[in-house]
Amino acid sequence: MATNNWNPWSNKHYYQVLNANFQECHTLSGVSTCTQEHNVLFDAGALWVQRVTSGETPTGCAPSTTCGFQYIAMSAGTTAPVATDAVTGATNGDCGKPSADTELTANGFGRAIGTVTDIVGSSPKSSTVVKLFTDTTAAQAVAKSCLVNQSTAANANNVQLAAATFTSITLQTGDTIQITWTLTWTWT
């Protein structure tokens, strides 16, 4: 971090900060409610971003239109994530892992690409990934969301960037939940 201290060698100090913030808004029987919850930014996900920004090969896949943290996955599990969780690969890269929680793949809750708003301009800036999920077939509880880098579950290239648990909500057919992940980027 830049300290504005006297530096006889005229070296510049640079830093970058990445924060992920989570919000869910759901509509049950026509009544809308929103909450913001504490989330966990996984060490393995942060490492993936760091490797990309430093020109290294990241775990799983190289950034492309099909590999990037633009996919949102859901789980009914309530196990709180921990930053040091192993969250890569065909099993642990799924939302809810490495705990016994499982990623949802039915009733309209399969992982999906979100609408991405990119940063523009100088630091600090935020980008967002937003997805509206609609319960399509049967009652479904949801209690966790994950920001992941692949479009399909059980993919060997899966990496989770972040996860958030929230109070379990049971949606009925036609009910919706909008997930918003906000990534705040700070640099000098």
Q: In the chain, where are the structural domains located?
A: 19-187
At a CB cut-off of 8 Å and minimum separation 6, what does 84 contact? 43
In DSSP terms, which residues pair with 145 in a beta bridge?
74, 164
Length of the chain: 188
Q: Is the pTM of this model over 0.85?
A: yes
d(CA 110, CA 157): 17
Position 26 confidence tier, pLDDT thresholds 50, 70, 90 = very high
Q: Tell which wins on pLDDT, 11 or 151.
A: 151
119 within 8 A of 127, measured Cβ to Cβ: yes
Predicted local distance difference test score (pLDDT) of residue 7:
42
Q: Would the pLDDT of 1 be above 50?
A: no
Whether residue 124 has a cis bond before it, omega within 30° of 0: yes
* Mean pLDDT of all residues in 167-188: 92
Provide the sign of the torsion angle of the four alpha carbons 48, 52, 56, 59, taken in this order.
Answer: positive
For residue range 72-85, list pLDDT tens digits in order: 999 999 999 999 99
